[in-house]
Amino acid sequence: MDTLIIGGGLSGLTVAHKLRQLCPGHQSLILEKSDRAGGVIWSHAENGFLAENGPHGFLDNCPESRLLLQETGLDQECVKAPLSRFVRYVCMDGALRCIPQSPLKIIMAPLISPLAKLRVAGELFKKPLQGEPTVAEWVAHHFGPALLPYVDAVFTGTYAGDLNRLVIDGVMPGVRRLEKAHGSVIRGLIAKMNQARQTKTTTGGGKKGLPAMTSFPGGMGRLPEKLAESLQPGRDILLNCGVLAIRKGQSGWEVESDQGIHEARNLALALPINPSLALLHAFAPTMPQNAVPEARIATIAMGFGPGSTLPPGFGYLAPEQEKRFCLGALFSSNMFPARAPQGHILLEALVGGRRHPERLDLDDATLIRQALADLRQLLPLQGEPVYARVLRPKGGIPQLEAGYPALLNWRDQLMREHQGLFIHGFGWEGIGLNDMIKSATRVAESIRENAGANREEAAVKGIYF
Ligand SMILES: Cc1cc2nc3c(=O)[nH]c(=O)nc-3n(C[C@H](O)[C@H](O)[C@H](O)COP(=O)(O)OP(=O)(O)OC[C@H]3O[C@@H](n4cnc5c(N)ncnc54)[C@H](O)[C@@H]3O)c2cc1C
């Protein structure tokens, strides 16, 4: 065996796919603990409604993801909801407020007071914040406190996290790099934009618009389904094959699983941070922390018949200060076609997260009742739902909190010390589907080049939520 891949979620499936593309004849084997491939990606179709247990979509602005779709033919199947046409809302003072789609319109909108806007502009004169600040500390230092509820909404929507615990070096390493180089973030962004403009004039690159949220007619489950289609069970993938231990052997890696001992030259741990750390613990005991916190959520899918409407757009998010039961809701039948039967709507409310794990202990009926009471105060929902289902994703979202940058450095050092060891997956270098596809692609490229694993310079990502 050339490469053993532990984990058959999107990360592991992408490494296997890329290895087949890049190195014909390369023998790789995925060892997957559960009885299906796909990890946390899991669509749920019932009574004509289509909801998601895990991710709802990904933005089409990542070259590695676009290439993966082309290589698999999924680019011909995907459905897109452009951000330019779908507004988002933040719940403020008990009502939904529309967030404009361009930075200029955001500045002009009456989202914060004129004085607070002046404070935001004062960022131009700010100095980098030293140490390992939380997102809240960092935003307050640079832009003032007025932006905190909006930033809260962003990190609720992406991490289901708590901005008083997430660290800026973990969640926005690209912006942090810009800040350290230029002092002010705004100055750094202006410099970056000028540089991009110059590159465009020399390379003739076109104007970039807002990206589109992407999924598939049958839901996100189609992505791992397609990637797993060409894998032969027993030869390319072993299901129900949990890995128990990893060891360094004479000429490569030795892996002990439920189904025996496997050996290979390369070992890719395509796992969320915590299962990765559990396997690395015995092999590399000096790790800075044994586990990272995770945020678990429940999705409450609710369908309504004629008479109920949804505002135009993707959905809304509620910052913690609003003290609402739901973290927010996705207007699913607005986003993609065929999410609800003709004449019906589907929305998916999110509950729990880093701040309210206790809500996940509620039974399904209570969750539905409390979520509905919350949603009715914000949305024109008529009558009782014709469909309601609580979906409880198996995995939580890794939280990049205090100590995470040190953990990432430790991982990098470990991979440098051990040729053929690749550690990537959910939470290592990001949490989004595009992050997974990007890092899995890099792992496959490093294996092809017989090179060690390396971390790419962190990019400045757009803030979409
Ligand atoms: C509720 C939720 C909503 C999300 N929404 C979005 C979204 O809208 N957009 C977006 O871009 N991203 C979203 N994400 C993140 C996205 O789903 C992840 O980035 C991605 O699916 C992670 O893929 P992975 O393969 O790295 O990990 P996983 O999907 O967790 O897969 C890891 C696999 O490893 C297996 N495994 C674990 N331990 C072992 C072991 N010891 N031996 C063998 N196998 C093992 C597991 O069974 C699993 O199949 C969401 C995540 C969650 C949980």
In 2-135, where do the E strands start and end? 3-6, 28-31, 43-46, 49-52, 58-59, 79-82, 88-92, 95-99
Ligand 1 center–CA 208 separation, angstroms? 30
pLDDT in tens, 224-244: 999 999 999 999 999 999 999
Euclidean distance between CA atoms 169 and 299, whole angstroms: 29
Q: Average pLDDT in the 141-153 region? A: 94
The ligand 1 atom nearest the CA atom of 58: 11
What integer pLDDT is reported at residue 451 of this predicted model? 72
Q: What digits encode the pLDDT tens for the residues 342-368? A: 999 999 999 999 999 999 999 999 999
Where does the chain hold its CATH 3.90.660.20 domain(s)?
A: 57-101+210-219+297-392
Q: Report whether residue 252 contacts ligand 1, using a CB cutoff of 6 Å.
A: no
62 lines ligand 1 (CB under 6 A): no
Atom of ligand 1 nearest to the CA of 59: 11
Predicted local confidence at residue 206, as pLDDT? 53
Give the single-character DSSP code of 76. Answer: G
Domain with CATH 1.10.3110.10 in the chain: 104-203
Q: Which pLDDT band holds residue 411 (cuts at 50, 70, 90)? A: very high
Residues 6+ apart with CB under 8 A from 278: none
Coil, strand or helix: which one is 242? coil
Which atom of ligand 1 is nearest the CA belonging to 244? 41
Q: Considering only CA atoms, which of 14, 5, 43 is closest in space to residue 435?
A: 14
Query: How far is residue 148's CA from residue 151's CA, in Å, rounded to a whole number?
Result: 5
Whether 275 lines ligand 1, by a CB cut-off of 6 Å, is yes
How confident is the model over 246-255, as a mean pLDDT? 92
- Hey, how many other C-beta atoms are within 10 angstroms of the C-beta on 119? 17
pLDDT for residue 204: 55
Is the CB of 32 within 6 Å of ligand 1? yes
pLDDT band of residue 203 (cuts 50, 70, 90) is: low
Please give the residue that has the higher pLDDT: either 453 or 387: 387
From 40, 155, 332, 464, the mutation candidate for ligand 1 (largest count of ligand atoms within 8 A of CB) is 40
Average the pLDDT over each of 23-27, 73-77, 301-305, 396-400 and give the range with the smallest value.
Answer: 23-27
- In short, whether 6's Cβ falls inside 6 Å of ligand 1 is yes
pLDDT digits (tens, 9 = 90+) for 369-397: 999 999 999 999 989 999 999 999 988 99
427 Cβ closer than 6 Å to some ligand 1 atom: no
Pick the CATH number of 104-203 from 1.10.3110.10, 3.40.50.300, 1.10.3720.10, 1.20.120.160: 1.10.3110.10
> What is the CA(174)–ligand 1 centre distance, in A?
23
Contact 433 CB / ligand 1 (< 6 Å): yes
122 CA to centre of ligand 1 in angstroms: 40
pLDDT tens-place string over residues 45-100: 999 999 999 999 999 999 999 999 999 999 999 999 988 888 899 999 999 999 88
Average pLDDT over residues 148-154: 94
By most ligand atoms within 8 Å of CB, the mutation choice from 330, 426, 429, 442 for ligand 1 is 426
Residue nearest to atom 14 of ligand 1 (CA): 55
Whether residue 13 is predicted with pLDDT greater than 60 in this model: the reply is yes
Q: Is 274 near ligand 1, meaning CB less than 6 Å away?
A: no
At 133, the pLDDT band (50, 70, 90 cuts) reads very high
Ligand 1 atom having least distance to the Cα of 434? 11
Mean pLDDT (whole number) for 185-197: 85
Specify the fold of 3-40+220-292+400-448. Answer: FAD/NAD(P)-binding domain (3.50.50)
Decide whether any atom of ligand 1 lies within 6 Å of the 36 Cβ: no
pLDDT mean across residues, the chain: 93
Average pLDDT for 177-186: 88
Q: Which CATH class, in words, describes the domain spanning 57-101+210-219+297-392?
A: alpha beta
Task: Tell me, using a 6 A CB cutoff, whether residue 9 lines ligand 1.
Answer: yes
Give the confidence band of 319 by pLDDT, cuts at 50, 70, 90. Answer: very high
- pLDDT at 456 > cutoff 60: yes
Give 17: exposed, middle or buried? Use CB within 10 Å, 0-12, 13-18, 19+. buried
Long-range contacts of 75-79 (CB under 8 A, 24+ apart): 77/216, 77/217, 77/222, 78/214, 78/215, 78/216, 79/214, 79/215, 79/216, 79/217, 79/336, 79/337
272 lines ligand 1 (CB under 6 A): yes
The alpha carbon of 109 and the centre of ligand 1 are apart by a number of angstroms equal to 37
Pocket test for ligand 1, best of 332, 390, 400, 433 (most atoms within 8 A of CB): 433
Atom 7 of ligand 1, nearest CA residue: 55
